[in-house]
Amino acid sequence: MKNKFLNAEFGYCPRVKCERQIVLPVALSEDLSISRVKVFCPKCEEVYVPRGRFVDIDGAYFGCSFPGVFFQTYPNLLPKEKAVSYIPKIYGFKLYGLPGSKYVKK
């Protein structure tokens, strides 16, 4: 599985801020026929629906804990830095924390 990860056989993170981080397969349920396989990005720590040939694989083949166990076994494969968070702007001016913004500090 380490070779599949290094060859990016499960693809890359769809977020632009993750800069094509390699993803791992993960399930949202341990039971058969409950959910299809998803992909986990270790940089942004989010789960996404895969694109391409892995859409029809049952997630139970990998289990919910596969990424955690994988990175405990190979801690050197964890990304060194976390993903940069998106800051909404209009014409270069930040919207976060301003009145009327969806992202008002509470």
pLDDT at 104 over 70: no
Tell me the domain boundaries of the chain.
Answer: 2-94
pLDDT at residue 7, rounded to an integer? 94
Report in angstroms the alpha-carbon separations of 51 from 18, 56, 65, 87.
Answer: 17, 10, 21, 27
Q: With beta carbons less than 8 A apart as the criterion, state whether 24 and 70 touch.
A: yes
pLDDT at 51 over 60: yes
Q: With beta carbons less than 8 A apart as the criterion, state whether 5 and 71 touch.
A: no
| Predicted structure pTM score | 0.77
Does domain 2-94 bear CATH number 3.40.50.2300? no
* pLDDT, the chain, mean: 85
